[in-house]
């Protein structure tokens, strides 16, 4: 017994030493017309990382980029590199060289990591919007047996990320539960930082991080404990972790929440926060026969922001689709679990706003459920509304059962399987099509559905 303990302790010490000197990334963030951003970390070691960028095939024109230290006082050394002054629709290559003691080539010099990306095409006033695709999904769980629940491991086959890394997609939109805090994590600041950086460092993810841009929203497990909302005492820490792990265009209003907006080609993405202002899920949905205005998921501040952003988006003649992404499902009347529909004051406020302001092209994109499906709901005076749910990437799956076994609002469903979503936008102006493909572990197509922008108009 004592010998086994010594061996285990040695393994843990070696793993800790490797983790302390690890180089994590690079993680490509959102790409714009003339700029892009990259995240990297040297773990617990505050080491220098040198960066260079150049037009593809012209390394002689490389220029150095100085990093911004994201966490000067945090437990992990995280860096952001902003590549600016680029040209639209152009391919660029970059190189990061961490000056870590453990980072050496066979010849003794520092080892570099390379990546590449293409800036967005400036099509406005010039040509039709370019066709593109992006990936999406939620619920990524990496096993750590010492701290997981006993029994069958909850995390599945992580090779799905190797499959995703081979996709020719513009970016990945993570839909929440992007890592899973455990009981040992969410009671301490250190635990929240540890879980995020530990999962980010998984070797199977490294090719995926630099293969395309990455944006994210959160849900309960990467926010804190299961089903938690506004009263979580470490919510400020969770927000700090989130905004230093992801390079989203913005993070709420600067003080609260993590919501933001991103535009790629002719699609606006409204990325919402379903936790910061969230009431207890089991509060009554109505009081004296009226929607309970005190029960909120999005919160008044965020809902007001969303309405203003949708108004601005409506005024942009180049936008074909407006995708609202949020961790919890929105529309599903057949679900016994939490959804925006159970927060009826906010739900009806949003639907009425879409109706009265005549906002075309709205779809919802959600995660959380450990299955994938497309829900269709028809409201009076509004085109059909769709909720595209994509889950899980690696966490546990389940089968449709009970009320959901034959959900009449389900257009397409995938259960009992790990999967991710591939969403493609194509077609000529005023005739754009959005196609959803649910894809399995090895790249096999599990289901497909499409909608034309003409079907989502008043």
User: Tens of pLDDT along 424-433?
Assistant: 999 999 999 9
Other Cβ atoms less than 10 A from the Cβ of 291: the count is 16
Alpha-carbon span 193 to 196, nearest angstrom: 5
Q: What's the total number of domains in the chain?
A: 2
Residues counted in the chain: 458
- My answer on whether 161 and 296 are in the same domain is yes
Q: What is the DSSP string of 321-345?
A: EEEEEESSBSS-TT-SS-BGGGSHH
Could you give the count of Cα atoms lying within 13 Å of 190 in the half-sphere of its Cβ?
3
- My answer on whether 137 and 56 are in the same domain is no
- My answer on whether 166 and 114 are in the same domain is no
- My answer on whether 83 and 153 are in the same domain is no
| CATH number of the domain encompassing residue 33 | 2.60.40.10
271 membership: H or E segment, kind and range:
strand 267-271
- My answer on whether 157 and 90 are in the same domain is no
Q: Would you say residue 239 lies in a domain?
A: yes
- My answer on whether 111 and 178 are in the same domain is no
pLDDT of the residue at 73:
83
> Is the CB of residue 51 less than 8 Å from the CB of residue 99?
no
- My answer on whether 368 and 245 are in the same domain is yes
Residue 20 has pLDDT above 70, yes or no: no
Q: What is the pTM of this model?
A: 0.95
Residue 163's pLDDT band, with cuts at 50, 70 and 90, is very high
Select from 85, 118, 151 the last residue of a domain: 118
Q: Would you say residue 316 lies in a domain?
A: yes
- My answer on whether 298 and 211 are in the same domain is yes
> Is the CB of residue 214 less than 8 Å from the CB of residue 169?
no
Other Cβ atoms less than 10 A from the Cβ of 440: the count is 16
- Tokens at 246, concatenated: 């992801």
426 membership: H or E segment, kind and range:
strand 420-426
| CATH number of the domain encompassing residue 202 | 3.60.21.70
Q: Three-state DSSP class for 56?
A: coil
- Tokens at 121, concatenated: 């095409």
Domain that holds residue 87: 24-118
- My answer on whether 251 and 305 are in the same domain is yes
Residue 17 has pLDDT above 50, yes or no: no
Tens digits of per-residue pLDDT, 26-65? 999 999 999 999 999 999 999 999 999 999 999 999 999 9
| Mean pLDDT of the region 154-164 | 98
Select from 69, 89, 118 the last residue of a domain: 118
Q: Would you say residue 17 lies in a domain?
A: no
Alpha-carbon span 258 to 272, nearest angstrom: 7
- My answer on whether 95 and 147 are in the same domain is no
Residue 183 has pLDDT above 50, yes or no: yes
């Amino acid at each position: 017994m004592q010998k086994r303990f010594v061996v285990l302790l040695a393994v843990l010490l070696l793993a800790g030493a490797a983790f302390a000197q690890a180089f994590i990334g690079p993680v490509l963030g959102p790409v714009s017309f003339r700029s892009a951003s990259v995240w990297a970390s040297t773990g617990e070691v505050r080491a220098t990382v040198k960066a260079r960028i150049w037009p593809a095939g012209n390394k002689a024109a490389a220029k150095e980029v100085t990093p911004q230290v994201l966490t000067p006082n945090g437990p992990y050394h995280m860096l952001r590199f902003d590549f600016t002054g680029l040209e639209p629709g152009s391919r660029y290559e970059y190189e990061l060289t961490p000056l870590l003691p453990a980072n050496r080539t066979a010849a003794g010099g520092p080892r570099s990591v390379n990546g590449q990306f293409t800036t967005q095409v400036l099509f406005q006033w010039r040509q039709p919007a370019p066709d593109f695709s992006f990936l999406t999904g939620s619920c990524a769980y990496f096993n750590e047996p010492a701290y997981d629940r006993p029994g069958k491991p909850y995390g599945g086959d992580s090779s799905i990320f190797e499959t995703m890394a081979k996709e020719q997609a513009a970016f990945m939109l993570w839909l929440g539960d992007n890592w899973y805090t455990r009981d040992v994590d969410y009671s301490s600041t250190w635990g929240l930082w540890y879980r995020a950086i530990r999962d980010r460092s998984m070797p199977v993810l490294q090719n995926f991080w630099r293969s395309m841009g990455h944006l994210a929203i959160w849900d309960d497990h990467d926010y804190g404990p299961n089903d938690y909302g506004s009263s979580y005492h470490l919510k400020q820490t969770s927000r700090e972790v989130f905004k230093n792990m992801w390079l989203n265009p913005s993070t709420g209003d600067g003080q609260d929440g993590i919501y933001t907006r991103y535009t790629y080609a002719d699609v606006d993405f409204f990325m919402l926060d379903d936790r910061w202002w969230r009431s207890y899920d089991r509060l009554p949905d109505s009081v004296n026969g009226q929607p309970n205005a005190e029960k909120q998921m999005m919160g008044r501040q965020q809902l007001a922001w969303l309405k203003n952003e949708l108004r601005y988006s409506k005024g942009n003649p180049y936008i074909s689709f407006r995708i609202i992404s949020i961790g919890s499902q929105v529309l599903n009347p057949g679900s016994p679990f939490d959804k925006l529909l159970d927060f009826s004051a906010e739900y009806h406020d949003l639907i009425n706003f879409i109706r009265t302001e005549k906002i075309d092209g709205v779809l919802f994109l959600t995660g959380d459920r450990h299955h994938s499906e497309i829900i269709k709901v028809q409201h009076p005076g509004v085109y059909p509304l769709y909720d595209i749910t994509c889950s899980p990437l690696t966490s546990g799956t389940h089968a449709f059962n009970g009320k959901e076994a034959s959900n009449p609002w389900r257009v397409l469903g995938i259960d009992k399987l790990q999967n991710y979503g591939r969403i493609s936008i194509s077609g000529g102006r005023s005739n754009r099509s959005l196609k959803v493909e649910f894809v399995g572990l090895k790249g096999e197509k599990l289901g497909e559905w499409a909608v034309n922008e003409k079907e989502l108009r008043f």
